[in-house]
Structure 1
Amino acid sequence: MKVLSVIILLFLSIYQGYADDVDRSVASRVAINFWKTHESLFLSNKSEDPIITDQYIHNINGKTIYYIFEINSCGFVIVSAENTTIPVLGYSFSNLFPHCSLPENIDGWIKSYEQQILYAKSYGLKQHLVIKDYWDRFIIPEHHQELYVSEGDLVQPLLFSSWHQGYPYNLHCPDGPGGQAYAGCVAIAMAQVMYYYRYPENGQGSHSYESTTYGTISADFQNTTYRWNEMVNCIYHYNNDALAELVFHCGVSVDMNYSVNGSGAYTQDCADALIDYFKYSSNIQYIMKTNPSINFTDSLKHSLDKGYPILYRGGSFPGHSFVCDGYQGDDYFHFNFGWGGSWDGYFYIDNITPGGINLSSQQAAIINIVPGQDYPVYCQYIDTLRAIAGTFEDGSGHQDYMENADCYWLIAPDEPDIISIMLSFDSFMTEEEHDWLTIYDGPTIGDPLLGRFSGSSLPGTLSSSGNSILVHFQSDGQQNAKGWFISFIGTKGPFCNAGTTFSSTEGWINDGSGPYDYTNQTECLWYIDPYDPAFDSIMAIELTFLSFDTEPDFDFVTIYDGPGMEYPILGSYSGQELPPFTLSGSNKILIRFSTDEANTRPGWQLKYNCVFPEYCNDTTFLTAPEGCFSDGSGLKKYHNNAQCYWWIEPPFADSITLTFTHFELEYGYDRLKVYDPTTQPITLLGDFTSTQIPPPVTSPGGIMLIWFNSDESITKDGWEAYYSTSNLSVKENEIEMFIELFPNPAQRNMNIFFTGHDEGQFKCNIYSTGGQLVFSKTAWYTTGKNLISADISAIPTGLYIIQVVTKNHVCQRKFIIKNR
């Protein structure tokens, strides 16, 4: 079957005049080998055998553009589907890349890759020797060692923040018809750079401008004290007025065009705004990638080497702005896109195709962003922090802390009902055994000690027994270091809600504690009840844990196979071992998290995906003299990203006529093509995309090939057709075979029922979705009804393909093995 599928693809590529130069198997090999050769720079625990836990194929008009591979459920690698470009477009070892509904600034960046790849495909560019060498290094085993990179080629991301443009970061932005305006990617990028420096304490001057929607928009920078210690890396549970005020002021400083549909401004205006309103050094420089007088890449690296984050412009619109805060090698730079950490990663910034389309004009950067001469402030004798959540550091910013420091921070929120204060360390580096950070469980040095730290090991989360904490930092007179950065939050109870419902078809769920430990006496429920109008049916739900750390034998995550606790338990987990992949037997799941009254841990995070019925897959072979078939969706809508074939070859047929009885596809994007594969080259008989029923199509060669392809969005009711043959002399027994599987989903045994029209030996094969043979059984069948049982108890939980092969027929079906 696989051989014939390859032949079919070859036929199509000959006719269409192009080929997807990089198929999925090659691209996945590139992704895995790239991960192996780079992970030691980013991950403390190197994986022995990284695996692909999810994948996405991006197509445009039937052409595969790139693949996104999720690795080990924690990162991604984007691989080009065109071998005349560089192989790896982007990657991350700590973030995922949701492929649906890309925000504008990220979409603009990815579209620059699309344009270059489409250009290469359309103009038949030849593979440059340098590009061939790149691909060979990831594909040919003996070349892999050449790709291992050293620590010297790397600047890890400088920013701790993961902010985004929506609620509650936009709380100070104009509010009007349609609700609160978005903050704008330029403002978020600019504010995150300022938060990195925690500068200035006060701005200078003021600014106003007119908006056709919101009237006069103003900010008084000079009379505003920016409350850096009240700002947070990411907003959890409590709105943050100090952070929202900073974001709004950044927007005003660049004349943000506010809108509820997306706010925009020009990246280059940030340079003057930082100097004029926020006291930053006049050495700030806006550079274009096309400027021949500078080395753009070297300028970026030079700025990042000194610890200066960069405001970056990318994409076709000047306002597509984000932060560049790290790099690896010469061409991959780390982008914080300003959407809560999603999509952040390292991306290739040069032209991906030598000799191809040049999109350098779309890129520019603001480098040498440095505060004024009164920076850094360094720590004072004592500082009292009254916010319910915030951050604080040793006072040195991105520089080393000062000698002979002796400073205190009292965390005592002006909030009632505070049960505990939690501290989470984002960075820590002091002169070992000489410079110390001491933390007390109360407001004085006479209170019990929570911890005393020195050196470079990152401390774990600390929790007070009451509503205040005292922190003391003391350094000696020599060998200073980078210092430390701490987040804090006051807790009033569990971080998670008593009951939360998730209705999207994929998503992430966690205990709600973010960078902190969860709280004692937690009792929370999450209902997964997915719905999406683009999909008509959901078979099951997959759960994959990304992290897991609870108090062993006391704090439990329990998963129920249904919407309530009266349904069967799929699993109950406690401790530090990552729970196994979980597959439900229904289309709803309940997750319960319960903790006791003592001892907490970092908690857990998982992602879920829906399993949809696969209406068609790969190639279906039809050998009966006549018959009806369809896209497989029945009364439902077909799925996105479908690519299916039907090979019709009845014995002794002189010609085949295809007649459609129903036809409804997304016009211009989803297509059905009919071929006569007996000619050289293959002959296209019909190309249909509409809601009109096509006319009958006849293949005079006695064989017909149908190809159905849908893109990544918008589905319709699909199609049904009837085929007949002429001048047919066929044996009575040569008709199509159908099989039934039950139960499905199965646990330990799978029953296979089919009607035999002859007798003989048959083979039953079970394959993983990756194509690996996991089970095979040979038995005899007879004329009439046959019932065969297969012991599948040794096969892991998951989605599988069962194939039944007889003398004259091959039939495939998908089935699920659920938790035992």
Structure 2
Amino acid sequence: TTSPAPTTSPAPTTPPSSGMTCSIISGSPYSSTSTIPLITSSTSILKVSLTSDAQASFLARWGPEPSYNADACASPAAVALQADYGGLSDGVGLYSNSASCSWILAPAGASSVTLVFTQLDMEYGYDYVYVDECSDASCSSSTQLASLTGSTMPGPLVSSTGYMRVRMSTDYSVRREGFKAIYAGSTRVYDCSWGGTGAIDSLQGMIRHAAANSQTSTTCSWSIAPAGTSSVSFMFHQFDLNAAVSSQVSILACAAGGQSPPPPPSPSPPSPPPPSTCSSYSAVPGSPFTGYSLPTPFTASSPVQLTFTSDASITYQGFLARWGPEPSYNADACASPAAVALQADYGGLSDGVGLYSNSASCSWILAPAGASSVTLVFTQLDMEYGYDYVYVDECSDASCSSSTQLASLTGSTMPGPLVSSTGYMRVRMSTDYSVR
């Protein structure tokens, strides 16, 4: 669902600076259907530019996390939210059974309302979040935009009337983490279909471009410079550009007044290994390895030399291996109501020895000091299929204030390696009331 440009667009309040010095953000420009992590510039200005000659759509937001209104789950009546930008949630921790919560989003003066979900974890097929387009602030008549259950995140949802209702309904058993969502009225949503170049000094907002507006060549550029800030955080919630026709979004960190922004940090490359003192090698059993079957773990005398070769055609997923003794497996999260932080640069985690508990809720935050990414490999997975789950999320920071789900795991099918490119990851285990 797309909405027309608002009758009164959010006009930029400051002219773009012609004296800005900019440097490209690591990973930019972005094209195709890239997965893009949270972007935080080390400067006070972020320049976002779209060039497209055909189909293109994206939606992103900038600024700090809003306050999440959870009042509706403590009120028999719908809670009205009239600010032009804000958040809503069922609250902290697992949601209640037999809950009925309702919010009416009615930003003053808005001709449309845009809603993006930052978390969704509902008992599949039993507990739901509904999103409706309303005719007025009392939602006297409505059209359903979405019916959400499970943990599959929807794309941005738009009400073209300027009014929207969000409802959460849960049954009498089994609880999950619930949802978080952020909304913006049309006065906080900047649309690239308007074209041109502008500057924005709002602390928070959204930028979008819809495929319906992208049939012809489009170029737009926004300089985001929130007043009184020294950095800008930027996150995509929808990204689908056709790379074959030269569509891309570029993001640059900029400094005003001719000051050069600091270059983006990059991890130092590992030191090269010292020359081997081994005069001859013998192949371990089964080597060389090829195909798609996992080699059997082996133990060999030190040193071990690993060599990878490939030909000039056809590429596959490759390999990932680990060496060394088994780490200690941290199981503290299943005995703690709060998430357990693991900050060592290498380690293990587990629900504990033996069968896991019923109605368990365990959470670990993996935040290795100084790491720019976190890689997770499973060595065991045995969950009651369709009822008990392990979730893996990429987090924006060490508190996981915002996250993107990397995997939702149930049953005994082992996933491949999972990587968080932010340096922070959350692992959560949730079980129901029976079967271990």
TM (norm. structure 1) is 0.20
Larger radius of gyration: 1
Kindly indicate whether structure 1 or structure 2 has the higher relative contact order, using CA contacts under 8 Å at least 6 residues apart: 2
Higher percent of residues as helix? 1
